[in-house]
Structure 1
Amino acid sequence: MTSPVLALRRAIIDAASGDAELRALMGGALRLYDEPPRGAEPVYALFGDVKAEDWSTDADRGHAQSVDLVIWSEKGGARTALMVADRFFAILDDASLTVEGHRLVNLRVTELASIRDKDSGLARVTLSLRAVTEVV
Structure 2
Amino acid sequence: MANAAYALQQAIFTKLTTDDATTSALGGPRIYDDVPARAEFPFMTFGQSTERDWSTGTEDGSEHVITLHVWSRARGRKETHAVIAAARKALHDQVLSLEGHRLVNLRHEFSEARRDNDGETFHGISRFRAVTEPG
TM-score category (smaller protein):
over 0.9
| Runs ≥4 residues deviating over 6 A | none
Quote how far apart the aligned CAs of 1:102 are: 0.7
1:36 is matched by which residue type in structure 2? V
With normalisation by structure 2, the TM-score equals 0.94
Mapping 1:85-124, distance limit 5 Å: 85-119=84-118, 121-124=120-123
Query: In the alignment, residue 82 of structure 1 is paired with which amino acid?
Result: H
**Corresponding residue for residue 17 of structure 2:** 17
Within 5 Å, give how 1:57-136 maps onto structure 2: 57-119=56-118, 121-136=120-135
Aligned length in residues: 135
The alpha carbon displacement at 1:61 in A equals 1.3
Task: Give the conservation status (yes or no) of the 8 Å contact 2:17–2:31.
Answer: no
Kindly, what percent of the aligned residue pairs are identical? 33
* CA–CA separation in structure 2 for the residues paired with 1:81 and 1:36: 17
Q: CA RMSD in A?
A: 1.2
Q: Which runs of 5+ in 1 are unaligned?
A: none
| Other-structure match for 1:7 | 7
Is this contact kept in 1: 2:2–2:100, CA < 8 A? yes
Q: Report if the CA contact (8 A) 1:73-1:79 is conserved.
A: no
Mapped pair 1:33 → 2:51: no
After TM superposition, give the deviation of residue 75 of structure 1 in Å.
3.5
Structure-1 separation of matches of 2:131 and 2:81: 25
- TM-score w.r.t. structure 1 length? 0.93
Tell me, which stretches of 5 or more residues in structure 2 are unaligned?
A: none
